[in-house]
Amino acid sequence: MQDADKRVTAVVAIDGPAGAGKSTVARRVASCLGLLYLDTGAMYRALALKALSAGLGPDDEAALVQLLANSDIHVAEDPDRQLHVWLDGRDVTDAIRRPAVHAVVAQVASLGGIRAGMVDRQRSLAEEGGVVMDGRDIGTYVLPHAPFKFFLTASLEARVARRHRELAAQGFLVPAATLQRDIVERDRMDSTRAVAPLQQAPDAHVIDTTNLTADQVVQEILAVVRGR
Ligand code: DC
């Protein structure tokens, strides 16, 4: 990677609803630009997993805030560029994708106290150096001054199909109708929560990924970043 690239691409924010293809694309963009990749959804998932293990309800804000304060959540790539999520020193990469975590994470992520704690952690990570961060509120709230902001969208059908493939690859066969209901409900929760809802930043580049491959989306993002 060129030094000039590094200077202009220090922070890339990628937001969008579930299934728009953010994490695949964000990881590849980070790799092409030699930047750190941070999957902020994985951080919320790790806390949701810990809450389940501790027997805490996803709406018990005071207890969850305390739990977060005592949690070491770390997202990092291994030398093969596989993303790993560590919770208190344990690799929870697969565990955070389980349906039980999926079922409670949106509720955990809707709590103001939890968001405040997570956003602090995310901002400190961004201060350490160049980063590609994906989530729901990165361009609007976590890093509103990011020089590059992208908002990925896709049709509901495409998002359902992607989620179906993702779960099937993990051995979970869930009917498409169930996934569709889940995605619609998740969109509703992510978009209507009081604190930092899923929202397109006015200065974000919007990319509809419905009929694009991940590579095409990556190329479009790189063209914007390098074109500046
Ligand atoms: O992207 P994901 O499905 O792994 O995200 C898990 C949950 O966390 C999802 O309900 C949205 C929420 N989330 C959030 O509220 N803010 C973020 N920056 C990232 C994820």
The mean pLDDT of 79-90, rounded to a whole number, is: 90
Q: Residue 1 falls within a domain, yes or no?
A: no
Binning pLDDT at 50, 70 and 90, where does residue 80 land? Answer: confident
User: H/E element holding 86?
Assistant: strand 83-87
What is the best residue among 136, 188, 198 to mutate for testing ligand 1's pocket, by most ligand atoms within 8 Å of CB?
136
Find the domain containing 58 and state its range.
9-220
Q: Residue 32 falls within a domain, yes or no?
A: yes
Centre of ligand 1 from the C-alpha of residue 149, in Å: 17
Contact by Cβ (8 Å): 190, 106: yes
Dihedral sign (CA 161, 166, 169, 172): negative
Q: Residue 25 falls within a domain, yes or no?
A: yes
Q: Which residue has the higher pLDDT, 9 or 183?
A: 183
Is the confidence at residue 4, as pLDDT, over 50? Answer: no
Centre of ligand 1 from the C-alpha of residue 4, in Å: 32
Q: Residue 110 falls within a domain, yes or no?
A: yes
Residue 89 CA to chain centroid, in angstroms? 21
Identify the pLDDT of residue 228: 67
Closest-lying ligand 1 atom to the alpha carbon of residue 44: 8
Is the confidence at residue 192, as pLDDT, over 80? Answer: yes
As a whole number of angstroms, the distance between CA 218 and CA 1 comes to: 16
Q: Which residues contact 176 (CB under 8 A, 6 or more apart)?
A: 160, 161, 164
Closest-lying ligand 1 atom to the alpha carbon of residue 15: 18
Is the confidence at residue 79, as pLDDT, over 60? Answer: yes
**Residue range 114-168, pLDDT digits in tens:** 999 999 999 998 887 789 999 999 999 999 999 999 999 999 999 999 989 988 9
Residue type for position 208: D
As a whole number of angstroms, the distance between CA 26 and CA 135 comes to: 10
Closest-lying ligand 1 atom to the alpha carbon of residue 193: 15
As a whole number of angstroms, the distance between CA 20 and CA 193 comes to: 20
> DSSP label at 204?
P
Is the confidence at residue 53, as pLDDT, over 90? Answer: yes
Q: Residue 4 falls within a domain, yes or no?
A: no
As a whole number of angstroms, the distance between CA 198 and CA 136 comes to: 5
Percentage of the chain surpassing pLDDT 90? 74
Indicate which CATH number applies to the domain containing 152. 3.40.50.300
Q: Residue 226 falls within a domain, yes or no?
A: no
Tell me the average pLDDT of the chain.
Answer: 91
The candidate with the shortest Cα–Cα distance to 76, out of 109, 27, 32, is: 27
Is the confidence at residue 1, as pLDDT, over 60? Answer: no
Is the confidence at residue 207, as pLDDT, over 50? Answer: yes
Centre of ligand 1 from the C-alpha of residue 3, in Å: 32
Centre of ligand 1 from the C-alpha of residue 41, in Å: 4
Task: Supply φ then ψ for residue 71, to 5 degrees.
Answer: -115, 140
Q: Is the CB of 18 under 6 A from ligand 1?
A: yes
Is the confidence at residue 3, as pLDDT, over 70? Answer: no
Centre of ligand 1 from the C-alpha of residue 24, in Å: 15
Q: Residue 228 falls within a domain, yes or no?
A: no
As a whole number of angstroms, the distance between CA 48 and CA 181 comes to: 21
Q: Residue 192 falls within a domain, yes or no?
A: yes
Contact by Cβ (8 Å): 164, 171: no
Identify the pLDDT of residue 218: 98
Q: How many domains does the chain have?
A: 1
Which segments of 103-147 are extended strands (E)? 131-135
Residues written for the chain? 228
What is the best residue among 40, 92, 193 to mutate for testing ligand 1's pocket, by most ligand atoms within 8 Å of CB?
40
